[in-house]
Structure 1
Amino acid sequence: MIEVDILQLIAKNDRGSSRCVQIRNWFDYRDHICIVFEKLGPSLYDILKRNRYHPFPVDLVREFGRQLLESVAYMHDLRLIHTDLKPENILLESSESIKIPDFKRTTSGAMQYRCLPKSSAIKVIDFGSTAYDNQNHSSIVSTRHYRAPEVILGLGWSYPCDLWSVGCILIELCTGEALFQTHENLEHLAMMERVLGPLPEHMIRGANRGAEMYFRRGSRLNWPEGAVSRESIRAVKKLDSLQNLVAQNADSSRSSLTDLLRGLLKYNPSERLTAQEALKHPFFKDMA
């Protein structure tokens, strides 16, 4: 019922630009709350998977990113924090797609094709974990790969955790793979440092007691000494800096995209771009 209330609040204030899924109805069937939504297409993750995790063209990533940030800005204006943004929770409005040549041939010499959406229009779904800013917050939010550092360190979280997730999503759409593919906190933090540089000392000092074990003498990440396996160390070493990750996939837009991602992936939540600030970034002014 909390989700129903949030969906009704979103629909009540929507003027057609929220980019949030619209509730049509809800009912109680044998003590199960059922929600009826508008009909939508596949998720962005579904499209990546269908294309063997081949990345989206940068122009399409730009359009997805703009709409996603519009949706986040709308939610934040209502004092709502989604807390679970990820490609699985971003759906295309239409299932229609077009096939384009991949310019890669199979071993038999046959041309490969990719399916791209005919329309770039998207909607954000799954408000089951959405929280009001002024309510008590659970200690852990967000699906692991898209979880902000302040959540891992137990520093508390608010609107900026959604913007960290947006940054992770944009890189994934550009590269075809989740940026932080991990299931363990220390490895996750080590991956962040590999891509973004060292964690700020003031965040390390403020970490809760549960996160203290990830650091040596309270100031340096206990890595690779604390790694659980050699495979974990290799997984971190395999990552590259943010600038290089973008350069490998974004071509002409790489400088503006890298700058946008640096703003979305600031360690310090108070320094992270807001959704409204991100929408004014030059990356979105490059749109054709």
Structure 2
Amino acid sequence: MGEGSYGKVVKGQKLDDKRNVAIKVLKRDGEDVWRELNALRTIAVLDADLCNVVQFYECFNSMGRPCMAFEMLDLDLYQFMGTRKWAPMPCSEIRPIAKQLLVALDALASLGVVHSDVKTDNVMLVDAVNQPLRVKLIDFGLARSAVTILQGELLQAVAYRAPEIWLGLPITEAIDMWGLGCTLAFLLLGINLFPSHCEYQTVRFMVQILGQPEDRLIQAGMFSQAFFVRQFAPGRPRFRLRTPEEYFAGTGYQTTACSPFTTLSCLDQLVHIHPHHHDSELEDRKALVDLLKGMLDLDGRLRLRPHEALQHPFISMSHLRQDPRHTQYLIASQQNLEVSAVKDSIQGQMPFVAPKDSLSPDWPVAPKESLSPDWPVAPKESLSPDWPASSPKPSTEPSVYPEESPSPEEASSPEPSVARTDEDVERLVRLRCCSSFFSGKRFASAAGWE
């Protein structure tokens, strides 16, 4: 049915009830397998249908290879868009998909779980023929508890990667909202909003469309210097995006040109990116773009949360109820929304508990040692070395974003490099070993500005 770096998915059948299932056959056993099982065990308390996540049945070994059995679904959103020849999806069809995925992320957030890989490939239609807009979130291979994610970890696909991953800022559930925002933009455009084949171009288009992250975010990032460089021009931001030549000089990787949206300079332009046939569709697109602005906020702390997005006018359709001219469009949109099994009454409630007999009785429990107890914690000095000791941190969640303004001394002289121990350097190499952010000669200074 499909194959990836993790292994392959094959079709199977449960012998007790003859139900067809999708079996994920993993290439190897190890910490990744136990991490996914731990995530699946955590979300097993959710009602898979009401919370729009894939139903996990059991795990077993076959010829020495770990296997996981899930409910059989149809095709993912990327494949679905391919069947439409990549034609943009109307807002009235995007809305039920957005609502179902927001409910899924809200349920995961209530458990403190970060999916870490929200993208079109990991959203599947339940039945493209009978329930064409009914979707579920799949693939929890990268999911884990938010409190276990280290600052600087490399997560998410390139085109769906949040700014805090690029810059090396603290990681929270907000990265899933960014991934969902990019997914909805894909449905609206028929193509990724940000390029996926070149990391520099992805960041460049992010800056071009959404603006540059604030200086305090860049300053606090462990890996910001891969893409940004200091400047000391009066009245301008303290940092600017590197040129392609500077990026190559610093990382050793050439940039490639790319994206049909080279002239797109803000999200507002998405309102008129495609022709509209009715004023109601135009108003609906404006509401969707407003929702995308909240989901794609460069500051993860200010990004919309799932329960907030569920109250947005695009989801509630309050903007369509105010004008009688939108009545017909509103009725059609409500009919599309009815394909979702999610009711408004579940918003804000605690996750639904699955019946005990739905859990595999011989479910293996991940050994404690698989949770890497000796995994090094991010050194304090990597959490923005110049954070004033007297500055209070927000009480709601940890942050390493220092609120600072350049002093006359800073404007006249560059900051000294931050000293790194061998242990710090080794940690950075481990975290970024599969990334093309830095060449080996730059690992030692990856967390401090030169």
TM-score range, shorter chain: 0.7 to 0.9
- Find out whether 1:139 has 2:153 as its counterpart: yes
- Find out whether 1:242 has 2:267 as its counterpart: yes
Residue deviations 1:138-175 (CA, integer Å, cap 9, x gap): 61100111000110001121110000111111110011
Q: Please tell me the residue identity of whatever aligns with 2:203.
A: L
For residues 133 and 186 of structure 2, what CA distance do their matches in structure 1 show? 17
- Find out whether 1:219 has 2:232 as its counterpart: no
Residue 67 of structure 2: aligned partner: 34
Q: Please tell me the residue identity of whatever aligns with 1:266.
A: D
Residue deviations 1:44-82 (CA, integer Å, cap 9, x gap): 110111222111121110110000110011111111000
Residue 265 of structure 1: aligned partner: 296
**Is the contact made by 2:52 and 2:137 (CA closer than 8 Å) also made in structure 1?**
yes
* Structure with the higher fraction of residues in helix conformation: 1
Q: Please tell me the residue identity of whatever aligns with 1:242.
A: L
For residues 29 and 279 of structure 1, what CA distance do their matches in structure 2 show? 42
Residue 149 of structure 1: aligned partner: 163
Q: Relative to structure 1, is the Cα distance of residues 91 and 282 closer, same or farther in structure 2, using a 3 angstrom cutoff?
A: same
Q: Relative to structure 1, is the Cα distance of residues 162 and 212 closer, same or farther in structure 2, using a 3 angstrom cutoff?
A: same
Cα shift at 1:231: 5.2
Which of 164, 177, 182 is the matching residue for 2:191? Answer: 177
Cα shift at 1:230: 8.3
Q: Relative to structure 1, is the Cα distance of residues 69 and 243 closer, same or farther in structure 2, using a 3 angstrom cutoff?
A: same
Cα shift at 1:238: 4.0
- Please say which of residues 9-18 and 187-196 is displaced more in the overlay: 9-18
Cα shift at 1:227: 6.4
Residue 140 of structure 2: aligned partner: 127
Cα shift at 1:180: 0.6
**Is the contact made by 1:160 and 1:270 (CA closer than 8 Å) also made in structure 2?**
yes
Cα shift at 1:199: 1.9
Q: Relative to structure 1, is the Cα distance of residues 85 and 237 closer, same or farther in structure 2, using a 3 angstrom cutoff?
A: same
Please give the root-mean-square deviation of Cα atoms over the aligned residues, in Å.
2.2
Q: Relative to structure 1, is the Cα distance of residues 170 and 269 closer, same or farther in structure 2, using a 3 angstrom cutoff?
A: same
Cα shift at 1:237: 2.9
- Please say which of residues 223-232 and 131-140 is displaced more in the overlay: 223-232
**Based on CA coordinates, which of the two structures has the bigger radius of gyration?**
2
**Is the contact made by 1:24 and 1:38 (CA closer than 8 Å) also made in structure 2?**
yes
Q: Relative to structure 1, is the Cα distance of residues 156 and 58 closer, same or farther in structure 2, using a 3 angstrom cutoff?
A: same
Residue 9 of structure 2: aligned partner: none
Q: Secondary structure at the match of 2:202?
A: helix
Cα shift at 1:37: 0.8
TM-score (norm 2): 0.56
Aligned residues, how many? 267
TM-score (norm 1): 0.85
- Please say which of residues 186-195 and 231-240 is displaced more in the overlay: 231-240
**Is the contact made by 1:19 and 1:123 (CA closer than 8 Å) also made in structure 2?**
yes
For residues 259 and 307 of structure 2, what CA distance do their matches in structure 1 show? 38
Cα shift at 1:10: 1.6
**Is the contact made by 1:139 and 1:156 (CA closer than 8 Å) also made in structure 2?**
no
Residue 320 of structure 2: aligned partner: none
Q: Secondary structure at the match of 1:139?
A: coil
Q: Secondary structure at the match of 1:13?
A: coil
Cα shift at 1:265: 0.5
Which of 205, 208, 222 is the matching residue for 1:194? Answer: 208
Q: Relative to structure 1, is the Cα distance of residues 207 and 230 closer, same or farther in structure 2, using a 3 angstrom cutoff?
A: closer
Cα shift at 1:14: 2.1
Q: Relative to structure 1, is the Cα distance of residues 235 and 182 closer, same or farther in structure 2, using a 3 angstrom cutoff?
A: farther
- Find out whether 1:159 has 2:159 as its counterpart: no
Which of 171, 196, 218 is the matching residue for 1:204? Answer: 218
For residues 255 and 299 of structure 2, what CA distance do their matches in structure 1 show? 30
Q: Secondary structure at the match of 1:37?
A: strand
Pairing 1:5-16 to 2, within 5 Å after superposition: 5-14=38-47, 16=49
For residues 119 and 155 of structure 2, what CA distance do their matches in structure 1 show? 12
Q: What are the ranges of 5 or more consecutive residues in structure 2 without an aligned counterpart?
A: 1-33, 231-237, 249-253, 275-280, 318-332, 335-450
Q: Please tell me the residue identity of whatever aligns with 1:172.
A: F
- Please say which of residues 146-155 and 196-205 is displaced more in the overlay: 196-205
**Is the contact made by 1:227 and 1:233 (CA closer than 8 Å) also made in structure 2?**
no
Q: What are the ranges of 5 or more consecutive residues in structure 1 without an aligned counterpart?
A: 98-117
Q: Secondary structure at the match of 1:166?
A: helix
Q: Secondary structure at the match of 2:270?
A: helix
Residue 94 of structure 1: aligned partner: 127
Q: Relative to structure 1, is the Cα distance of residues 136 and 248 closer, same or farther in structure 2, using a 3 angstrom cutoff?
A: closer
